[in-house]
Amino acid sequence: MIRRILAAAAIWLGASAAAFAVDVQQVTSPGGIHAWLVEEHSIPFTALEIRFKGGAALDEPGKRGAINLMVATLEEGAGDMDARSFAAAREGLAASYQFDVFNDTMSISARFLSENRDEAVALLRQAVIDPRFDQSAIDRVRQQVLSIITSDATDPNRIAGRTFDAMAFGDHPYGANRNGTAASVTALTRDDIVTAYRNVLTRERIYVGAVGDITADELGAMLDSLLGDLPATGPALPADVVPAIDGSVTVVDFDTPQSVILFGHRGIRRDDPDYVTAYILNEIFGGSGFNSRLMEEVREKRGLTYSIGAFLAPMNHSEMIYGQAQTANERAWDTVRVVREEWGRIAQGVTQDELDEAKTYLTGAYPLRFDGNARIAGILVGMQMAKLPVDYINTRNDLVNAVTLDDIRRVAKRLYHPDELQFVIVGQPGEAPADN
């Protein structure tokens, strides 16, 4: 029965968004917590997405990995329940809680049936307001994190990302992996975990999206009960950082037959008026389909790689355009050369046919994002954090269709600079040819 309800909840909004406008309500709780809500009472189920702005970027100096470890320990006991008792109580309610952290956000995702709503929210409240942070739980989760760090040290994709970010962002939190290092994580104390908790979970940085069988009044009361006792404010957010990009190529020697190639340079902010145009442009240049220019030139015409792509990365404190490919060592330098050439070619603009095809794909694919209550709750939160208007879901395709070829050409010239394009190669590509 529970599985059928969850499956039905996953289907509802996929069909709804494709056929109808999505009615998003702005809700303010009696205690002043803001949220966006989509009501749907035909299924007795609610998805709740809560995010706290700041995330792992709020790690204190010398404590990298503290927030990641804290978030991973939140479910390991709360109130008078240890980790096993908490898990049993959650399973008994058929509720789902997921805690996660990224550089810019810490997230809490919850799903629960209407019949168990009060109990499920009360249980979640204990994890949010009264986590135990038992030393035994911290030590157990610490070992899991250390295992991940050890594994990442032999993963060429992770090595490429870590190397690129360290070069681009230096001492800024973006320059270090949010998991921390073996040394920093090993040195963390319970006091560090408690401090991390107090720094991140604050009311001033809460964003909420809710979808399902709940009214605005019910949501407001629930949010005050769940989050109202958190501290009002926290420490200052990190400063913005300009990526230190110089157009160089860095090779990290790694014994593997395949080179991982990560490339990119400074991008565009999400609140920039040209962002939608840049998004369309990136779809043409390096999007997910097989018709992108990078796929056509690097894979189809030259057979240098099986997969290649690029994406915009508008972070809270910086912005990048990234791309990645994987190829045989002996083809790595050819791949770098072709990518740089295509970076220069896209700067000159695109054709009307390319623009029309990208618009058709993007507007047609957009409703497919709304394939479940949980996903749309996440979209609602993302819209708020990006400062998009409440009707953005219903107007987004109009914004895409309004972009002209002149817009594309102007933004392409503004955004793509092949002389600034930075590469990290992890593998054994040999000496660089003279023309690289």
One-character DSSP codes across 231-249: -S--PPPPPP------S-E
- Say yes or no to pLDDT of 22 above 70: yes
Give the model's pLDDT for residue 429: 95
Of 69, 59, 53, whose CA–CA distance to 203 is shortest? 53
The residue length of the chain stands at 436
CA atoms of 252 and 210, how far apart (whole Å): 45
| 74 secondary structure, DSSP code | T
For 403, the 3-state DSSP assignment is coil
Mean pLDDT of the chain: 93
- Separation of alpha carbons 77 and 434, rounded Å: 59
Predicted model pTM: 0.90
Say if residue 66's pLDDT is above 90. Answer: yes
Q: Which domains does the chain have, with CATH numbers?
A: 2-227 (3.30.830.10), 249-427 (3.30.830.10)
pLDDT digits (tens, 9 = 90+) for 262-314: 999 999 999 999 999 999 999 999 997 678 999 999 999 999 998 999 999 99
Alpha helical stretches, state H, 54-133: 66-73, 83-92, 117-129
Distance CA 375, CA 98 (A): 13
> Phi/psi of residue 56, each to 5°?
-70, -15
pLDDT 10s digits, 123-134: 999 999 999 999
**Residue 366 per-residue DSSP state:** G
